[in-house]
Structure 1
Amino acid sequence: MMHDPAAEKKQKNWYRCSMAVLLAAALLLSGCTGGGSVLSGPVRETDSKGRDGSALKIVTTIFPQYDFVRQIAGERVSLQMLLKPGEETHSYEPTPRDIIAIQNADLFIYVGGENDAWVEDILDAPEMKQVRRLRLVDCTALLKEEHVEGMRHKGQLCPGTEEEEEENDEHVWTSPKNAMEITKRIAEELSALDPEGREGYKANLDAYLEELAALDRQFREITQKAAARGQDLLLFGDRFPFRYLAQEYGLQYYAAFPGCAADTEPSAAMMAFLIRKAREEQIPVILKMELSSEQIARAVAEASGAEVRVLYSCHNLTAEQFEAGEGYLSMMRKNAETLQAALGQ
């Protein structure tokens, strides 16, 4: 299927109209509820005060920034994540209550980029001008989304040789180095909103940065050993949102789709390419993301004699993992173990 610019423009116009209707519904609902809190969980009693004199309200779209805030702020703020545990971020659609939560937030933290176009549309509304916001893509240097050989993109296989205009890759948190820069910015925002909590935020940030630095050293040791043996290739039977992780640690990869691909239907040519590469390179582990189908990864693994493992992008986690207190650090530590197996260690 060829890329149709006219159809894409029509779809974007429809999407913007939908966002306008959704915003109108949210404002109507806000008027009916008096603009009160719509947090799914209880509001914590804290010394930190927001615009309305209650607990400082922090709203995030997905899990990485949610976890970063709770590591830095602890119980000092009232924190909400719009994406429910167990939901896949690419299928998320905001509700009127989500929009009210954003409107009432003292700080709204989102990723930015192509998948957050709905956020930009909402924040452009006059009613949202007072909302303080932080975009993760503004916290660190950006890389372009990459289309490697064999990857299916807009209905076609990417040859890996043609240059084309690409979107920025928005999965900036997948590198622990970037996570350090993001958490520093979050701490700055929290301190500006709540000067009385500045010392506590700094102490928590410093402790968290030490753990991120240790995680960075662990990844670097694993990948440097792999590079020394000439075994630094990964194969994903899934989308690939790990551009920053691969760039930071010098990893090569093949994957079925780019990180933000909407079309994830496998083609015969793409499957044949991945299976051939898995066999030729004697790949021991075929990787997939969390909360996504393992259809492609399982088929490639069965055809090549490999096993399937999850590499966490940390977009989100299951309800069980959330209740168990899993976080960015614990999932990335699991990733380190998975990389060791995938790189033949």
Structure 2
Amino acid sequence: MKRRKQLLVILSLSLVLVAAGCGSKQTGGQSQAGDAVSASNSSAVSTAGVKLKIETSFYPMYEFTRHVAGDLAEVHNLVPAGAEPHDWEPTPKDIAEITDADVLVYNGAGMEGWIDQVTSSATGGHLNLIEASKGLDIMDGFVEEEEGESGEEEAGQDQDHSGLDPHVWLSPALAIKEVQNIEQGLSQADPADADTFKANADAYIAELQTLDQQFKDSLKDPKRTDFITQHAAFGYLAREYGLTQVPIAGLSPDQEPSAAKMAEIVQFAKEHQVKTIFFETLVSSNVAETIAKEIGAKSDVLNPLEGLTDEELAQNQNYISVMKQNLTALQKALNE
């Protein structure tokens, strides 16, 4: 199914690029290899009073980018509110938006399975590509093999994110580095406004540093250090603050755990007297709640911030406010 989706994306992209032609309103030199902007598809943008047009791959990239860009850009998020981004694929309309943009900001580390198809076809030289996780220490991810009816591994099953864990934004310390990469990339794309991008980034980084310190202070000496999550999204957060994530399923939140994995989690929870099982907002909480019921525990939300719901947006929630909610939930669960 995923292979058919990829073929459709490639076909759609080809049609959009043919229609768009090779014309571009931007000119300029390419960035140096190793910079936050991809050297193969980047150029400086002549703004001359025209705002940058920026596409971002999913919510954290949108949130970080809009703080850095400020009033100097129109920032549009590709994945709509309430949608789960792991298996999201761009439509022809989305591809047209990307093709017409000055900048595309994406997380990388395998999060955006469609990115190679888009970037390899964007050969006009005008699209600046900013990989926010570039240069970060990327962890191997937890991937549980799916089993067929025979009990053996199902042939041809995709490994989510090629076995890499892309969820770097859930560590405030690494979120700071992603913001710095975005600032560097926008400054290379639009050198005339580099000072403003730097000032905007510094202001937002100061807020993220405060958040990071709150995590350090609140999680310094908990009664326990392990927590059970619905999917393996919190590895970087756990590593940063001396905790241990025990995931029910793998890197993709809609991955169904095997019966053996469920039994293993139940046994762990009983032995360690776990009283809270964490689930998340964009996918079904059935698995987490089943385990919680089995061991007489409660369930609570730990938000991986892969996207905000319409309700959360209506409440003016954002990355920092949701991360503070995560901190409160973790602090409570680790000290029960």
TM-score (norm 1): 0.80
In the other structure, the counterpart of 2:238 is: 246
Asked if structure 2 preserves the Cα contact closer than 8 Å seen for 1:23 and 1:99, the reply is yes
In structure 2, what is the equivalent of residue 18 of structure 1?
Answer: 8
Alpha-carbon distance in structure 2 between the residues aligned to 1:53 and 1:154: 53
- Given the alignment of the two structures, is residue 132 of structure 1 paired with residue 128 of structure 2, yes or no? yes
Q: Distance in 2 between matches of 1:196 and 1:51?
A: 8
Identity %: 31
CA contact (8 A) 2:183 2:198 kept: yes
- Structure-2-length-normalised TM-score: 0.82
Q: How many residues align?
A: 305
Q: Is the Cα contact below 8 Å between 1:285 and 1:341 reproduced in 2?
A: no
Match of 1:293 in 2: 284
Any conservation in 1 of the 2:270–2:295 contact (CA below 8 Å)? Answer: yes
Shift in Å at residue 187 of structure 1?
Answer: 1.3
Match for residue 323 of structure 1 among 314, 319, 325: 314
1:93-150: CA deviation from partner (whole Å, max 9, x where unpaired): 2111111111111110112243423211121115454311011231422111135xxx
Quote the Cα distance in structure 2 between the aligned partners of 1:157 and 1:50: 57
Cα drift, residue 29 of structure 1: 5.7
| CA distance, structure 1, for counterparts of residue 168 and residue 65 of structure 2 | 16
2-side partners of 1:260 and 1:181: how far apart? 24
CA distance in 2, matches of 1:217, 1:208: 14
The 5-angstrom pairing of residues 18-167 of structure 1 reads: 18-27=8-17, 30=20, 54-125=50-121, 127-146=123-142, 152-155=144-147, 167=163
Structure 1 residue 293 displacement after superposition: 0.8
Give, in whole Å, the separation in 1 of the partners of 2:113 and 2:313. 27
1:184-199 equivalences under 5 Å are 184-199=180-195
More helix by share: 1
258, 270, 275: which one aligns with 1:284: 275
1:65-100: CA deviation from partner (whole Å, max 9, x where unpaired):
100111222232101000000101123121111111
The answer (yes or no) to whether the contact 2:99–2:122 under 8 Å persists in 1 is no
- Relative to 1, partners in 2 of residues 1:265 and 1:141: Cα closer, same or farther, differing over 3 Å? closer
| The 10-residue stretch of structure 1 (111-120 or 87-96) with the greater mean CA deviation from structure 2 | 111-120
Pair 270,126 (structure 1): closer, same or farther in 2 beyond 3 Å: closer
Contact 1:51 1:106 in 2 (8 A): no
The CA deviation at 1:185 is 1.4
Residue 175 of structure 1: aligned partner: 171
Q: Any unmatched runs of 5+ in structure 2?
A: 26-44, 154-161
